[in-house]
Protein backbone atom coordinates (compact mmCIF):
# COMPACT_ATOMS: atom_id res chain seq x y z
CA UNK A 1 0.00 0.00 0.00
CA UNK A 2 1.02 3.60 -0.45
CA UNK A 3 1.91 5.98 2.36
CA UNK A 4 -1.22 8.03 1.58
CA UNK A 5 -3.43 4.95 1.88
CA UNK A 6 -1.84 3.91 5.15
CA UNK A 7 -2.24 7.43 6.52
CA UNK A 8 -5.94 7.44 5.59
CA UNK A 9 -6.43 3.97 7.04
CA UNK A 10 -4.74 4.87 10.32
CA UNK A 11 -6.43 8.27 10.78
CA UNK A 12 -9.92 6.86 11.34
CA UNK A 13 -11.46 9.83 9.51
CA UNK A 14 -14.68 8.36 8.15
CA UNK A 15 -17.67 9.94 6.48
CA UNK A 16 -20.73 10.69 8.56
CA UNK A 17 -23.21 9.79 5.84
CA UNK A 18 -22.12 6.33 4.73
CA UNK A 19 -25.32 4.62 3.53
CA UNK A 20 -23.97 1.09 4.09
CA UNK A 21 -23.81 -1.11 7.19
CA UNK A 22 -20.57 -0.70 9.12
CA UNK A 23 -17.86 -3.24 8.47
CA UNK A 24 -19.32 -4.55 5.22
CA UNK A 25 -17.34 -4.54 1.97
CA UNK A 26 -19.75 -1.91 0.59
CA UNK A 27 -19.12 0.27 3.65
CA UNK A 28 -15.36 0.20 3.12
CA UNK A 29 -15.72 0.66 -0.64
CA UNK A 30 -17.75 3.83 0.06
CA UNK A 31 -15.15 5.12 2.53
CA UNK A 32 -12.31 4.41 0.10
CA UNK A 33 -14.15 6.12 -2.74
CA UNK A 34 -14.87 9.22 -0.61
CA UNK A 35 -11.23 9.38 0.49
CA UNK A 36 -10.08 9.07 -3.13
CA UNK A 37 -12.41 11.88 -4.24
CA UNK A 38 -11.09 14.11 -1.46
CA UNK A 39 -7.48 13.35 -2.43
CA UNK A 40 -8.19 13.99 -6.12
CA UNK A 41 -9.84 17.32 -5.34
CA UNK A 42 -6.87 18.35 -3.24
CA UNK A 43 -4.50 17.55 -6.12
CA UNK A 44 -6.63 19.66 -8.48
CA UNK A 45 -6.71 22.51 -5.97
CA UNK A 46 -2.92 22.33 -5.61
CA UNK A 47 -2.62 22.79 -9.37
CA UNK A 48 -4.68 25.95 -9.07
CA UNK A 49 -2.51 27.09 -6.15
CA UNK A 50 0.53 26.65 -8.38
CA UNK A 51 -1.11 28.70 -11.12
CA UNK A 52 -1.93 31.44 -8.64
CA UNK A 53 1.67 31.55 -7.45
CA UNK A 54 2.99 31.61 -11.01
CA UNK A 55 0.64 34.40 -12.09
CA UNK A 56 1.39 36.43 -8.97
CA UNK A 57 5.13 36.20 -9.69
CA UNK A 58 4.50 37.36 -13.24
CA UNK A 59 2.47 40.32 -11.95
CA UNK A 60 -0.59 39.37 -13.96
CA UNK A 61 -3.25 40.88 -11.75
CA UNK A 62 -6.57 39.12 -11.82
CA UNK A 63 -5.29 35.79 -13.08
CA UNK A 64 -3.98 34.69 -9.70
CA UNK A 65 -7.26 35.65 -8.05
CA UNK A 66 -9.14 33.44 -10.49
CA UNK A 67 -6.84 30.51 -9.72
CA UNK A 68 -7.28 31.12 -5.97
CA UNK A 69 -11.04 31.14 -6.42
CA UNK A 70 -10.90 27.88 -8.36
CA UNK A 71 -8.77 26.21 -5.69
CA UNK A 72 -11.19 27.30 -2.97
CA UNK A 73 -14.19 26.07 -4.97
CA UNK A 74 -12.58 22.69 -5.57
CA UNK A 75 -11.79 22.26 -1.88
CA UNK A 76 -15.28 23.40 -0.85
CA UNK A 77 -16.85 20.83 -3.18
CA UNK A 78 -15.46 18.05 -1.02
CA UNK A 79 -17.28 19.46 2.00
CA UNK A 80 -20.70 19.59 0.34
CA UNK A 81 -21.03 15.97 -0.72
pLDDT on residue 30: 94
pLDDT on residue 38: 84
Q: Is 71 a member of any domain? A: yes
pLDDT on residue 20: 96
pLDDT on residue 24: 96
Q: Is 1 a member of any domain? A: no
d(CA 10, CA 28): 14
Which residue range(s) make up the domain with 62? 43-81
Is the pTM higher than 0.95? no
Q: Is 29 a member of any domain? A: no
Q: Is 21 a member of any domain? A: no
Q: Is 22 a member of any domain? A: no
Structural domains counted in the chain: 1
- Residues (pLDDT < 50) of the chain are 80-81
pLDDT on residue 80: 44
pLDDT on residue 12: 78
3-state secondary structure 16-74: CCCCCCCCCHHHHHHHHHHHHHHHHHHHHHHHHHHHHHHHHHCCCCCHHHHHHHHHHHH
Q: Is 72 a member of any domain? A: yes
Q: Is 5 a member of any domain? A: no
Amino acid sequence: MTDDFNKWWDEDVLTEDNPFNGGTPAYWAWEGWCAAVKAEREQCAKLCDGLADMHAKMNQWGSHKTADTLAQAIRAGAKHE
